[in-house]
Structure 1
């Protein structure tokens, strides 16, 4: 791939090249479901809209209001559990400098604090990979002594720390786990190994163990026979394929802390009996949003059902279809997420009946960024493709396609071949695979891909110059 030449120095050229590679690869296009369990089709852009549609609901109770947890009533701090006790101020070397001030910690939502902390830890580790790669892969006595001096780590913990370091955990991660749930570091290394080996055996990836331990360190305390096997059996009982069990656990490790009989099964019954999800669809719903098993859904279902039925005149059948296709709907804030997107569709001339048709067909629209996604696609639809808004009711999939990777390249390519119609551009030509699109256009896939790459390169160069 040719690099962009602007007369920049070597470092700038490397930066530009890296940015362009990320730009053309569409890295951000599939972030919406996360990188663990997203069941999106090949046309979805699935942009993340920075969480503005996600409500701040805690994950502490089942739908019935019970907090039935296994083994013991574990305190929850952050998104998936465990208290955040500020017993000691961690030094900057542990990557937690943003939360040194205890008052600022209290002001942050616990979920946001955990997410930001984990990101900070990962960034810190990435910055120090070069230094740490030169050291022995095993956790050295010197590095453990540093933790011991700073946080009073017991010498008896060293074998466990040494073992867990094989999953990529570093000093900063152990410091975080200590502050989050110190008892997890007192586990016998043989017991920890048995539990983590079991998770690996059911499909959890080695690289996901670190993330799981940071989100739910209590997992080290859960026994295989009395806890882990029961939860894996539960997932199998609701139709989760063996190949997906590990991904479900990695996406929502806190489900292992909920009692199967008193929490998880009642949640599934509520989805079937109260919400109206078909029993045969439960597996798909859980794979799309594993968090639905550990979030209180009675209030979220009632409020969103009432809002959509009143705001759009949606029937229960329509709303159930939306939840089955996109269960994340139950987690989106009405005021900050759902309503602004409905109002946007109204602002471009869509009636409530048309909005309902679009949302029933493509509920993911409620997850897309207004300014970074929906508005640019609308402007391209009317200004470049010369289509009317009502065409979206027939082809709502248009809103899920990438403007840079799919819509603009195909339109411009047909224009370059002089095969684009003079009137409204047919949105149906944007949906098929590249192979079918090129076959209809009477050209080769290689020719189209080369055109698209050149177009992306020019667009990127223009954006870079403007910056």
Structure 2
């Protein structure tokens, strides 16, 4: 029925089908669909026995995540990483070093890419190295659970340096920063970290800042000035944007900031516009003028007017961070292939940040299938109703509403997952 829509598309693992079936069970009568879903379940079981790939269903079944959280984590890993990894070996390795399921769940929520790393050639040597330096099991699990990105560092020297510093931060966590020595970079860093801690910045945001390539916490006067600006702008210390704003402003001098404001002023953005955009996405401010101009050229070349571009960026400044090639691929698919007008993207700018292969194309294939059968009328549904919602809401709206037709639901799910269901 939908072979033309499915053909030519790279199949996704049927694990995703199994997860979607389970997560939507309460929307339908399980017994009524047991026959339709049996082949998909069997295929998923066979695939899982061959080797557990990094999929949504794997996260649900192996780590106990709820489906919404698993879906969010899965999207943070590229398709290639998900295909090549062997998460079972990573979990086995971590457990052999004393990590509990609670530790592992926390680590994967913070650093999903860990499951895509090679257990034997990448992770095992690092764990052995840290253990050989005297790290106890309790210390190792505590520090790596709080800052798992340390395991992504490639060189032993850098790994050792960052691990030792994070360890020292944790040890002095109960000290007053007034009692720390002044003058040295290390003393400044410890003091600044404790200041941020006392303001309410959680360790999950604070400690990764210490192992980044930025030196936000090394200075004294510059740190204090930048922190004051961020606080006055109203950023909440417990949020990621607070730390991101601190990082972005710290690396820019007052002169550079004025030059940025002047540049955006020439493009038609007021100073107030720029700071409102900064509050939504601090990382846009350091972008070079060349990158911004190239971005403008890319959007205009795709049919956006200058006014539409301005609205797009004010609402969703992350659009400036996207590569021209990626914006072109997504816009051409939505506008040329799906026939949504450009103004729909302006009204729903977040769609430009969605994963094309994992989110946009599967949903749009379902819409194409429904329209080809005359089940949606002659007009295309709104872009927002198709893409700006969870998988659960999308399937409830466009697939499960046809629950009285078991064959149709199974075929639509096959289109959605990229696999055939017999």
Q: CA deviation at 1:452?
A: 2.4
Tell me if the contact between 1:386 and 1:423 (Cα under 8 Å) persists in the aligned partners: no
| Counterpart selection for 2:219 from 225, 239, 258 | 258
What secondary structure is seen at the aligned counterpart in 2 of 1:257?
coil
CA-CA distance at 1:357 after TM superposition: 0.9
Q: Cα gap change, 1:426/1:265 in structure 2, threshold over 3 Å: closer, same or farther?
A: same
Write the distance in 1 (CA, Å) between the matches of 2:238 and 2:202.
12
Q: Does the CA-based 8 Å contact 2:313-2:319 persist in structure 1?
A: yes
More displaced stretch, 282-291 vs 337-346: 282-291
Structure 1 alignment gaps of length 5 or more: 4-13, 26-40, 49-124, 140-159, 168-192, 457-467
TM-score between both structures, scaled by the size of structure 2? 0.55
Deviation string for 1:92-145 (max 9, x for gaps)?
A: xxxxxxxxxxxxxxxxxxxxxxxxxxxxxxxxx969839x96x99866xxxxxx
Q: What TM-score comes out, normalization by structure 1 length?
A: 0.51
Aligned partner of 2:301 in structure 1 is 347
The answer to whether the 8 A contact 1:138-1:166 is kept is no
Structural mapping, 1:179-258, within 5 Å: 200=143, 204-205=146-147, 208=150, 211=153, 214=158, 217=161, 220=164, 224=172, 226=180, 227=187, 229-251=190-212, 254-258=215-219
Equivalent pair of 2:202/2:238 in contact (CA under 8 Å) = no
In structure 1, the partner of 2:282 is 327
In the alignment, what sits opposite 1:287?
243
Secondary structure (helix, strand or coil) at the match of 1:346 reads: helix
SS in 1 for 2:304: coil
SS at match of 1:387: coil
RMSD: 4.8
Structure 1 residue 395 and structure 2 residue 348: aligned? yes
Number of residue pairs aligned between Structure 1 and Structure 2:
295
| Distance of 1:45 and 1:342 partners within structure 2 | 27
Q: Distance in 1 between matches of 2:348 and 2:230?
A: 30
Q: Give structure 2 stretches of 5+ with no counterpart.
A: 1-12, 16-46, 57-70, 79-116, 181-186, 404-408
Question: Which moves more between the two structures, 220-229 or 393-402?
Answer: 220-229
2:143 counterpart SS class: helix
Query: Is 2:396 the partner of 1:426?
Result: no
| CA gap 1:386/1:211 in 2 versus in 1, 3 angstroms | same
Provide the C-alpha distance between the structure 2 equivalents of 1:215 and 1:272, rounded to a whole number of angstroms. Answer: 32
Contact 1:288–1:327 under 8 Å retained in 2: yes
- Alignment partners' CA distance in 1, 2:161 and 2:365: 51
Structure 2 counterpart of 1:369, from 295, 298, 323: 323
Measure the CA separation in 2 of the matches of 1:290 and 1:249: 13
Matches within 5 A, 1:293-304: 294-304=250-260
The alpha carbon displacement at 1:375 in A equals 0.7
Q: Does 1:407 align with 2:360?
A: yes
SS at match of 1:331: coil
Kindly provide the CA deviation profile for residues 247-288 of structure 1, in whole angstroms up to 9, marking residues without a partner as x.
3334467334333xx221111224466xxx225479543334
Is residue 2:416 matched to residue 1:452?
yes
In structure 2, what is the equivalent of residue 439 of structure 1? 396
Structure 1 residues 376 and 263, CA, compared in 2 at 3 Å: closer, same or farther?
A: same
Task: Give the equivalent residue in structure 1 for 2:108.
Answer: none
Distance change in 2, residues 1:351/1:138 (3 Å): closer
Matched, 1:269 2:269: no
Structure 1 segment 46-61 matched on structure 2, within 5 A: none
Q: Distance in 2 between matches of 1:367 and 1:237?
A: 32
Q: Does structure 2 conserve the Cα–Cα contact (< 8 Å) formed by 1:438 and 1:448?
A: no
Aligned counterpart, 1:129: 121
Q: How has the CA–CA distance of structure 1 residues 434 and 2 changed in structure 2, closer, same or farther, with 3 Å as cutoff?
A: closer
In 1, Cα distance between equivalents of 2:142 and 2:353:
35
